[in-house]
Amino acid sequence: VVTWEDVNHQDQHTSDLYIDLYVDTAKQQAIFALRGFFFFKSGGPKAHLSLLIYPEKIQSIKFAHNRPPVSPINDVPGDSFVSLRFAMTQPPSLMVPKDRLLEPKRQYQAVADTIASIGSVKQFTIYLSDVSPDVQQELTLIPSVFLSTYPFGRLQADDKWAAPNDLYDYTFSQVIDLSQTAFDSKSGSKKLEESEGLAVDEDAVAPPYSPGDSQRTVQSIGPSSRKRQASEPLIPYTTEKHSDAGSSILGYETLRNGSRPPDTKTVGLASPVHLSTPSDHKRQRTTELHSPMTNADIVSALRRVFAYNASLSNRIAQLESRLETCSSRLESLATELVAAADRTPCRYDTEEAEHVFGQIDHRIEDGIHDVRHELEETFKVEAEERVAEEVKLQHEELREKLEVDWTEDVRRTIVQEIASEVEEKTTKEVLKGIAEALSAYHASQANQDGSLRLGSSYTPSKASAATLPGETALREAVEDIQSKYKDLLTGEEMIGVLDFLEESPLTVVKYNACGENTRRAYVMKWKAEVSGGVLSRRTWYR
């Protein structure tokens, strides 16, 4: 998309143009071209109008990421656009077909008007979309080479690319400067030919070509077939996505093996020095006007006239043959029209056509219904499979979790029941043992005193039978502790230690079997445990 402000200070835009960018920073050379195609009213292949932007005329270039204000491409995201704003000291040069009246078809007149309008301004903006990241990175570097602080100097027109016969591969066209030449998009070639036919003074003739001259005759532009080496630091880029390889973009066929026009040398136009400019033609005609006429000049002029007449005769013959061909085609068309008049008329908008369209609609509806039914069945089957799989997975997870929880609960319950039963049985046995021990103790005391209570049925045989196992060992341990450690233990500590010995017969046996030092260590340990609240009843079986 190209946007600009015309001479009437109105904003304009177009998306019918292509841009070619050629930059070689190593050689300090560059060239830019804006072009659009059209078809002549008189027929023929596709032709092009081009605006050549020489680097000598560029004041600055600004790169930005923004969307055009009026874009015909609405579905392209805004961040994919990049813009190049050209500010120039002079308007760009226009390239038009040479020796042919510029009369495009009515539908292509807007292209010529657009080219003429852009060619008359010095500032315009080019918006590009769908640019690859590599090309976009190179485009960001273009403004830096046109800065006034660029350390390597200003870029110049490429000697090869500035000559369109090298840049493009087509026949002759003409480059004009719209700032110095009056150009009308509807009759530009006619005015150009008339302006060239006027004789001017020798002093008014422009000097030979230098970069920035207003006019020159070169070959027309087209896609180049020349291959560049990958090592060259070039930025060739074009926005044209399709090209016609077999036709000239300006309406002429390429001169491959034929003769070249007389005003062009046989060598390639490698630089602007080799170009034949309109100024050279004017200077040559002016010199001929001031030089005396000779017989050789007359003969040469007559030969040119005769050659021109011969070419006109050939053209007339070609036109006559074309007219005959057109007449034969018209006759064949008339015959076909007469034959077609006897055929059955078109049945469009009839009842039969409506019936056919109705059948088509019914078939489409049936197909849509079948597809919908198949999709519903497929979706139902997939949904059922997914639900069954999910339910199965959740069941497995729940079962594993319940097994773990149930196992832990059962184990805890069993442990609690076993502990309760053991505690109950142990308590009963201990209480029973204590009762028997007390009975035996009372019996022994009564026996030692030598007297029995009246009415008592206690006998020595019963006393011996009531003695518990380990009673003697317990008595020895209690007596030993009371006699040896009564000064080290308080009353409460003594009771706690004796209770502990009462509840642990095996500990009593170990105590009696140890020496004095070990017994003292046991008593101190039991004292510490009794003082700290560690020892309690039924500690030994837990």
pLDDT at 248 over 50: no
- Is residue 292 in some structural domain? no
Domain shared by 514 and 434, yes or no: no
499-527 residue pLDDT tens: 888 887 788 888 888 888 888 888 888 88
- The pLDDT assigned to 446 comes to 66
More confident residue, 64 or 98: 64
- Is residue 66 in some structural domain? yes
Closest C-alpha among 54, 88, 91, 2 to residue 218: 54
Residue 244's φ and ψ, nearest 5 degrees, are -95, 110
pLDDT at 481 over 60: yes
What pTM did the predictor assign? 0.38
- Least-confidence region, from 20-24, 40-44, 139-143, 244-248: 244-248
140-158 residue pLDDT tens: 888 888 887 776 777 887 6
Among 5-9, 217-221, 530-534, top mean pLDDT goes to: 5-9
* DSSP annotation string for 371-384: HHHHHHHHHHHHHH
Domain shared by 522 and 382, yes or no: no
Give the chain's mean pLDDT: 70
Domain shared by 43 and 71, yes or no: yes
Contact assessment for residue 65 and residue 164, using Cβ atoms and an 8 Å cutoff: no
- The pLDDT assigned to 260 comes to 36
pLDDT at 24 over 80: yes
- The pLDDT assigned to 379 comes to 85
- Identity of residue 539: T
- Is residue 288 in some structural domain? no
Domain shared by 30 and 138, yes or no: yes
- Is residue 540 in some structural domain? no
- The pLDDT assigned to 121 comes to 93
249-281 residue pLDDT tens: 333 333 333 333 333 333 333 333 333 444 444
What is the token pair recorded at 490? 């308080």
Last residue of a domain, one of 234, 252, 270: 252
- The pLDDT assigned to 335 comes to 82
- The pLDDT assigned to 294 comes to 62
Last residue of a domain, one of 434, 466, 498: 466
Q: Could you give the number of structural domains in the chain?
A: 3
Domain shared by 475 and 448, yes or no: no
- The pLDDT assigned to 77 comes to 61
84-141 residue pLDDT tens: 999 999 999 888 777 677 788 888 888 888 988 998 999 999 998 888 888 888 888 8
Q: How far apart are CA 165 and CA 222, in angstroms?
A: 8
Domain shared by 412 and 506, yes or no: no
Question: Which residues lie closer than 8 Å to 118 by C-beta, 6 or more apart?
Answer: 2, 4, 34, 51, 92, 124
Rounded mean pLDDT, 426-454? 68
Q: Which strand ranges, in their side-by-side order, compose the sheet holding 123-129?
A: 11-14, 2-5, 123-129, 81-88, 58-64
Contact assessment for residue 21 and residue 235, using Cβ atoms and an 8 Å cutoff: yes
**Residue-number span of the structural domain to which 141 is assigned:** 2-179+219-252
More confident residue, 449 or 11: 11
- Least-confidence region, from 48-62, 110-124, 149-163, 456-470: 456-470
Last residue of a domain, one of 414, 441, 466: 466
Q: How far apart are CA 51 and CA 94, in angstroms?
A: 5
Domain shared by 33 and 160, yes or no: yes
Domain shared by 456 and 475, yes or no: no
- Is residue 241 in some structural domain? yes
Chain centroid, CA 274 distance in Å: 48
Q: How far apart are CA 309 and CA 303, in angstroms?
A: 10
Domain shared by 14 and 78, yes or no: yes
- The pLDDT assigned to 489 comes to 83
Closest C-alpha among 179, 155, 160 to residue 273: 160
pLDDT band at 72 (very low <50, low <70, confident <90, very high): low
pLDDT band at 431 (very low <50, low <70, confident <90, very high): confident
333-381 residue pLDDT tens: 888 877 766 655 555 566 777 778 888 888 898 888 888 888 888 888 8
- The pLDDT assigned to 160 comes to 64
More confident residue, 246 or 42: 42
- The pLDDT assigned to 207 comes to 38
- Is residue 372 in some structural domain? yes
- The pLDDT assigned to 449 comes to 57
Residues of the chain above pLDDT 90, percent: 5
- Is residue 290 in some structural domain? no
Q: How far apart are CA 340 and CA 414, in angstroms?
A: 107
In which element (H, E) is residue 179 found? none
Helices (H), 51-180: 109-118, 133-139, 164-167
Domain shared by 462 and 507, yes or no: no
- Is residue 305 in some structural domain? no
- The pLDDT assigned to 2 comes to 92
> E strands, 65-205, where?
81-88, 93-97, 123-129, 156-157, 172-177
Count of other CB atoms within 10 angstroms of residue 440: 18
Contact assessment for residue 25 and residue 147, using Cβ atoms and an 8 Å cutoff: no
Q: How far apart are CA 191 and CA 178, in angstroms?
A: 13
Rounded mean pLDDT, 277-302? 57
Domain shared by 395 and 519, yes or no: no
Rounded mean pLDDT, 396-406? 83
- The pLDDT assigned to 3 comes to 93
Domain shared by 402 and 493, yes or no: no
- The pLDDT assigned to 222 comes to 36
More confident residue, 375 or 300: 375
Contact assessment for residue 157 and residue 56, using Cβ atoms and an 8 Å cutoff: yes
pLDDT at 225 over 60: no
